[in-house]
Structure 1
Amino acid sequence: MRRRTALPALTVALATAAAGTTVVATAGDRPGGPPSERTLLDQVRARGVLRVCTTGDYRPFSHRERETGAYEGIDIDMAENLADSLAVEVDFVPTTWGELLDDLTGGACDLSMGGVSVTLDRAREAYFSVPYLVDGKAPIVRCEDAERYRTLEEIDRPGVRVIVNPGGTNERFVQENIDEATVVPHPDNTTIFDEILAGRADVMITDASETRYQSSLHPELCAVNPDDPFTFAEKAYLLPRGDEEFKEYVDQWLHLALNDGTYAGYEDDWLD
């Protein structure tokens, strides 16, 4: 059963204090002014809904059930916790990796959550929260092939089929590092690992956190060197650029959640 860890009273105090402040860093308007002049922190509380863009295709962070449309995962639990801290409801807005940034900057949602990697391209258009996870790219393969595909040199060879989902950092990594192997695009990240199991692909290079989780779901698949990935990366939440008060609140909430057991509890629920 997934736990729900209540945030300390300090978080509630932060929400109250932020809503009652008389100085808005970005616009210089009072929270009591017209809604269009308020910081997003005040708009969310006035609206009563926190809108969260998420892809729903990236376990263990964000997964959408096909039959019911319900979302689940570590960052889904965290989104609900953030909404609770603001005393509002949460509304999950479907997006894709290719549209994630445009949906946020276009105002479709208040922030993006669900295993989003920190990249400079994204940082030029939006803010990132403080990071909550260190990660990096690593291979996942059929277990009988684990000794064959330990390095990029062993992967990037003629005859090797590297499968990749489009629109995100996995695709960029493959484009920048795979020249000799055959690249197999696959549009559905929820079924991509079945392609390796079925023998229609040999390797997927994705975040080490995902390789660990998928290998726990599929004992026939093995994560290769997830503790020594090919790259360094961090995961964080993507926020609208320019809204300092909203970012400050999210950072403070996340700092508390990372240190009071809230995030660890959700992570244990999913990774165990």
Structure 2
Amino acid sequence: MAACASAPSAPVAELAPSGTLRAAINFGNPILAVKDAATGEPRGVSVDLARELGKRLGVPVELLTFPAAGKVVEAVTAAQVDIGFVAIDPVRGTGMLQTPPYLVIEGAYLVRNDSPIKSNAEVDRAGNRIVVGNGSAYDLYLTREIKHATLVKAPTSPAVTDQFLAQKLDVAAGVKQQLQADAQRLPGLRLLDGRFMVIQQAMGLPKGRDAGARYLTAFVEEMKASGFVAAALARHKIEGAMVAPLQP
């Protein structure tokens, strides 16, 4: 079992070169983080991990919030932040270093109650228009996998359902939890059974910080093994996500 206690000394110069750990927080995925209704401050699993990492490094943490995963990827790739919380994807992996996953999240489809589409297998058909958050892991996956339907890009993942309704599109794709919440607040909508993909959420950092990546990998494995991630999910009442398995 990997643990920070057995890892080399924390490479603060790579993980927090300015003396402050700059962490990108994605408000586009409610499983990772949301804005607290009372305080306006970010809260969630990714926020807890960022603060715990800062504590381990002995540095203050600056939370920089973004409306969509694509913006987080851009910030990490350009080294405008020190760490980010992003889905593992071959496209994103070309611009940053990534840890093993700490969470596994399901992607789902949403349709209207009167839609003729009854299963995930019926979505990728000519004439169907699928709306997805631009630059999200779901967008990247569907761009590779969809062969017959047409993809329509919403500016962010939380905007998917509203655009789906406004433009009278056929399918909305995204985080299962987000779409379930939309179906509950808006009449006439239903989720298709099952999932069309599983997303592995990891921590990322700019390229060239290899010692930082090794430390982050050990950190993530310890956060899973110690129950920290599971406790964060429970504390924030998150459903639709599971702690990722420990790496062999």
TM-score range, shorter chain: 0.7 to 0.9
The alignment's C-alpha RMSD in Å is 3.3
2:180 aligned partner: 215
1:83 aligned partner: 54
2:232 aligned partner: 266
1:177-216 per-residue CA deviation (whole Å, 9 max, x = no partner) reads 445545433213223224456783332222xxx2135415
Q: Distance in 2 between matches of 1:146 and 1:267?
A: 33
Q: Distance in 2 between matches of 1:222 and 1:104?
A: 35
Counterparts in 2 of 1:177 and 1:256: CA distance versus 1, 3 Å: closer
**Paired amino acid for 1:270:** K
Identity over the aligned pairs, expressed in percent? 23
2:152 aligned partner: 184
Structure 2: gaps of 5 or more residues: 240-248
Q: Does the residue aligned with 1:18 lie in a helix, a strand or coil?
A: coil
Q: Distance in 2 between matches of 1:65 and 1:186?
A: 24
**Paired amino acid for 1:224:** L
2:193 aligned partner: 225
1:132 to 99, 102, 107: 102
1:128-168 per-residue CA deviation (whole Å, 9 max, x = no partner) reads 112113345431334x358824124x223455442122123
Structure 1: gaps of 5 or more residues: 1-9, 25-37
2:221 aligned partner: 255
Give yes or no for the alignment of 1:18 onto 2:9. Answer: yes
Give yes or no for the alignment of 1:51 onto 2:50. Answer: no
1:107 aligned partner: 79
1:77-118 per-residue CA deviation (whole Å, 9 max, x = no partner) reads 2222222222322212234433433322322111111xx211
2:93 to 114, 123, 134: 123
Counterparts in 2 of 1:129 and 1:97: CA distance versus 1, 3 Å: same
2:117 to 148, 151, 168: 148
Q: Does the residue aligned with 1:131 lie in a helix, a strand or coil?
A: coil
Q: Would the aligned equivalents of 1:54 and 1:62 in 2 still touch at CA under 8 Å?
A: yes
TM-score, normalisation: structure 2? 0.75
Q: Does the residue aligned with 2:81 lie in a helix, a strand or coil?
A: coil
**Paired amino acid for 1:123:** G
Q: Distance in 2 between matches of 1:67 and 1:166?
A: 29
Q: Distance in 2 between matches of 1:89 and 1:59?
A: 24
Q: Distance in 2 between matches of 1:258 and 1:185?
A: 34
Count of aligned pairs between the two proteins? 232
Q: Would the aligned equivalents of 1:60 and 1:270 in 2 still touch at CA under 8 Å?
A: no
Q: Distance in 1 between matches of 2:231 and 2:192?
A: 26
Q: Distance in 2 between matches of 1:218 and 1:71?
A: 24
2:14 aligned partner: 40
2:245 aligned partner: none
Counterparts in 2 of 1:222 and 1:249: CA distance versus 1, 3 Å: farther
Q: Would the aligned equivalents of 2:131 and 2:151 in 1 still touch at CA under 8 Å?
A: yes
1:33-75 per-residue CA deviation (whole Å, 9 max, x = no partner) reads xxxxx7414736xx1x210123321111123469975222221
Q: Distance in 2 between matches of 1:200 and 1:72?
A: 33
TM-score, normalisation: structure 1? 0.70
Counterparts in 2 of 1:58 and 1:118: CA distance versus 1, 3 Å: same
1:242 aligned partner: 208
Q: Distance in 1 between matches of 2:21 and 2:152?
A: 37
Counterparts in 2 of 1:106 and 1:177: CA distance versus 1, 3 Å: closer
